[in-house]
Amino acid sequence: MFNKQITSKVFNNFYRYYSSINKVGVIGGGQMGTGIAQVLSQTAGKNVVIFDSNKAMLDKSLTFISSQLKRQIEKGKIQEQEQFEILKRISFSDNMESLKDSDFVIEAIVENPEIKTQLFKQLNSVLKPTTILASNTSSISITKLASNYQVPENVIGMHFMNPVPVMQLVEVIPGLQTSSETNNITLELAKKMGKTTTMSKDMPGFIANRLLMPYINEAAQALFEGLGTIEDIDTTMKLGCNMPMGPLTLADFIGLDTCLSIMNVLHANLGDKYKPCPLLVRYVEAGRFGKKNGKGFYSYNK
């Protein structure tokens, strides 16, 4: 009985510590990391530090958040004072040591298993042992990533949808080692960010991309085979199936390089059913990544 009381007390103190997360680190100043940081500050009211080794990315991140908040002011959604407070809670750094005081860290870098693994190993000498480390991976095994972190029980998947300030869903993916405390704290943080959560088993692609990426890949295959033009394929799915946008437009918005990375993970783990379309591979090899660099299936004026 005495041991149970002590265990309960330790758990309650542990949970209170984590449920009062004050500082959140975001790794990656790209589209996803920037959106995550904005919502953490604006909706959840958290102090956030965005870390990216590329200073130019940090400058773009600040500019993007500022422009988004300015639009909200113009639309009457927030006041100028709110904009000031939101930006005040966000800091930017190209030094990984800036993450050391974070209670919770969300990694949102390139969708590459080797690069993410290297990052997790580096974070072992930076983060506190009590820090929860969440990955925004859209397909890579959380269990595998966690094996490279000092406290695998504190690692979890937190898959945000793009654009983060608009999309309401966050997929939460516990790994094999993830503790129930880490899971509960992550769900609570997502709730404070105004998000709806779903839970997925730690399988390649999780729920969203296990279903979405084969759809996009098949649309690319249809284009590759000449089944229809880009416009015909997208219009058919929009007006015939009531999709908000066509699959090829969506692929451009996500990033063809990201789509290919996810398909490669699915293919490697689940077999030839998920083999990437040759056209998708060819476009990525040609540097056609989609809207983010001006050319994908469609061309965009930058």
Residues annotated within the binding site for NAD(+) are: 28-33, 52, 111, 116, 138, 162, 292
The Cα–Cα gap between 66 and 154 comes to: 32
Catalytic-labelled residue, pool 61, 139, 154, 159 = 159
Q: Could you check whether the bond before residue 163 is cis, i.e. omega within 30 degrees of 0? A: yes
138 noted as active-site residue:
yes
159 noted as active-site residue:
yes
171 noted as active-site residue:
yes
Cβ atoms within 10 Å of 55's Cβ, excluding its own: 12
Which residues belong to the annotated binding site?
Answer: 28-33, 52, 111, 116, 138, 162, 292
Catalytic-labelled residue, pool 61, 138, 200, 217 = 138
The Cα–Cα gap between 251 and 58 comes to: 25
Catalytic-labelled residue, pool 47, 139, 141, 209 = 209
* Sequence-separated (6 or more) residues with CB below 8 Å from residue 263: 213, 217, 274, 275, 276, 280
Catalytic-labelled residue, pool 171, 200, 217, 261 = 171
Contact 55, 133 (CB under 8 A): no
209 noted as active-site residue:
yes
Residue numbers annotated as active site:
138, 159, 171, 209
